[in-house]
Amino acid sequence: MASKRVEVLEIEMGHFKADLEEKMTTLSENVEGKFMALEEMMKKLLEGQARGRASGGKRRR
């Protein structure tokens, strides 16, 4: 009886681990995507600032 309970718990832990790994992978992909988008926005901002300075534009404070 106790061995059956241990077996059931091991199976449930395996399912829990698999679900957790899947969720962590999804979360990691989402965060990575957001950082990539942020990086692109920062590049565009810096490029815009560099163009403004190169064309003699005033800096904002």
pTM of the model: 0.59
pLDDT recorded at residue 34: 97
In a domain, 61, yes or no: no
CB neighbours (10 Å) of residue 52?
Answer: 13
In a domain, 9, yes or no: yes
Q: What is the mean pLDDT of residues 40-59?
A: 86
Considering its fold, how many domains does the chain have in total?
1
CB neighbours (10 Å) of residue 30?
Answer: 10
In a domain, 60, yes or no: no
For residue 1 the two structure tokens come to 């009886």
pLDDT recorded at residue 12: 97
In a domain, 59, yes or no: no
Residue 57 has pLDDT above 70, yes or no: no
Residues 6+ apart with CB under 8 A from 53: 59
Instruction: Give dist(CA 5, CA 46) in Å, integer.
Output: 61
Residue 17 has pLDDT above 90, yes or no: yes
